[in-house]
């Protein structure tokens, strides 16, 4: 099976812009979770989607949003980018949820200037 894929791998944006990141889970996986990772920080949970529904949400502002399509592919959107949004954004898929082993994609490294 192909692994989790994320596009783009690298992105440079300026403050105030918006960005959309994409994640394709492992075939057959219905749960997709998004995380933000910054140097020295653990993985910060953004949200989890399951069968096109947001099932869990972390403590991030409303500028961070996401969605999941019928083929389980997921997108994450960040509006009005701030310098502090510079991070590695990881998505992870699992068969049915975070209580199972999650398989991570390579991440999208976002730099906000």
Partner 1 sequence: GQNIDQPTEMTATEGAIVQINCTYQTSGFNGLFWYQQHAGEAPTFLSYNVLDGLEEKGRFSSFLSRSKGYSYLLLKELQMKDSASYLCALFHRDSNYQLIWGAGTKLIIKP
**x/- letters, 22..41, toward partner 1 (CB under 8 A):** -----------x------xx
Q: Is residue 76 within the footprint of partner 1 (CB under 8 A)? A: no
Q: Are 9 and 106 in contact (CB under 8 A)?
A: yes
Nearer to partner 1, 3 or 61 (CB): 3
Please tell me the distance from the alpha carbon of residue 69 to that of residue 16, in angstroms, as a whole number: 27
Least distance CB 84 / partner 1 (angstroms): 17
List own/partner pairs for 54-60 with CB under 8 A and 24 or more apart: 55/31, 55/97, 56/98, 60/36
Nearer to partner 1, 18 or 38 (CB): 38
- Which residues would be at the binding site for partner 1 (CB under 8 A)? 4, 33, 40-45, 48, 55-56, 58, 90, 92, 97-99, 101-107
């Amino acid at each position: 099976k192909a692994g989790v894929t994320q596009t783009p791998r690298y992105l440079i944006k300026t403050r105030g812009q918006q960005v959309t990141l994409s994640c394709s889970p492992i075939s057959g996986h219905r749960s997709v979770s998004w995380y933000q990772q910054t140097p020295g920080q653990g993985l910060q949970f953004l949200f989890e989607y399951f069968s096109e529904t947001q099932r869990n949400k972390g403590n991030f502002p409303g500028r961070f949003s996401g969605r999941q399509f019928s083929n389980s592919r997921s997108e994450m959107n960040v509006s009005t980018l701030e310098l502090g949004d510079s991070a590695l954004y990881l998505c992870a898929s699992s068969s049915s949820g975070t209580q199972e082993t999650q398989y991570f994609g390579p991440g999208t490294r976002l730099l906000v200037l």
